Amino acid sequence: MVSIIIVNYRSKAYLDKCLFSISKYSFDEDFEIIIVNNDQKEDLTDLVDKYSRVKLYKNKKNIGFGSACNLGAQKAQGENFLFLNPDTQFMDNYIKEILIKIKQYKKVIIIGPRLVTDAGKTQEWSTGKETTFTQIIKNNLWITESRYFWESKKDIFVDWVSGAAMFIKKDIFDKIGGFDENFFMYGEDMDLCAQARELGYDILYSPELTILHSGGKSRKSLIKQKIQFFKSSFYYLIKRQFKK
Q: Cα 204 to chain center, whole Å? A: 13
Tell me what pLDDT residue 18 has: 98
Tell me what pLDDT residue 141 has: 54
pLDDT values of the chain reduced to their tens digit, one per residue, 244 residues: 999 999 999 999 999 999 999 999 998 899 999 999 999 999 999 999 999 999 999 999 999 999 999 999 999 999 999 999 999 999 999 999 999 999 999 899 999 999 999 999 999 999 998 877 666 666 655 557 788 899 999 999 999 999 999 999 999 999 999 999 999 989 999 999 999 999 999 999 999 999 999 976 655 667 778 788 878 888 888 887 766 5
CA angle 9, 11, 14 (to 5 degrees): 150
Taking the C-alpha atoms of residue 111 and residue 54, their distance in angstroms, rounded to an integer, is 23
Tell me what pLDDT residue 242 has: 66
Tell me what pLDDT residue 233 has: 84
| Region 2-243: CATH code | 3.90.550.10
Tell me what pLDDT residue 131 has: 78
* Cβ pair 47, 115 in contact under 8 A: no
Name the nearest CA neighbour of 6 among 96, 73, 94, 60.
73
Tell me what pLDDT residue 139 has: 60
- Domain locations along the chain: 2-243
Tell me what pLDDT residue 217 has: 60
* Cβ pair 32, 61 in contact under 8 A: no
Three-state SS annotation for the chain: CEEEEEEECCCHHHHHHHHHHHHHHCCCCCEEEEEEECCCCCCCHHHHHHCCCEEEEECCCCCCHHHHHHHHHHHCCCCEEEEECCCEEECCCHHHHHHHHHHHCCCEEEEEEEEECCCCCECCCCEECCCCHHHHHHHHCCCCCCHHHHCCCCCEEECEECCCEEEEEHHHHHHHCCCCCCCCCCCHHHHHHHHHHHCCCEEEEEEEEEEEECCCCCCCCHHHHHHHHHHHHHHHHHHHHHHC
Tell me what pLDDT residue 239 has: 85
Name the nearest CA neighbour of 34 among 90, 79, 67, 81.
81
pTM score, two decimals? Answer: 0.92
Write the CA distances from 165 to 4, 75, 88, 185, 215, integer angstroms.
Answer: 10, 19, 8, 15, 12
Task: State the helix-helix crossing angle for 222-243 and 188-198, rounded to 10 degrees.
Answer: 20
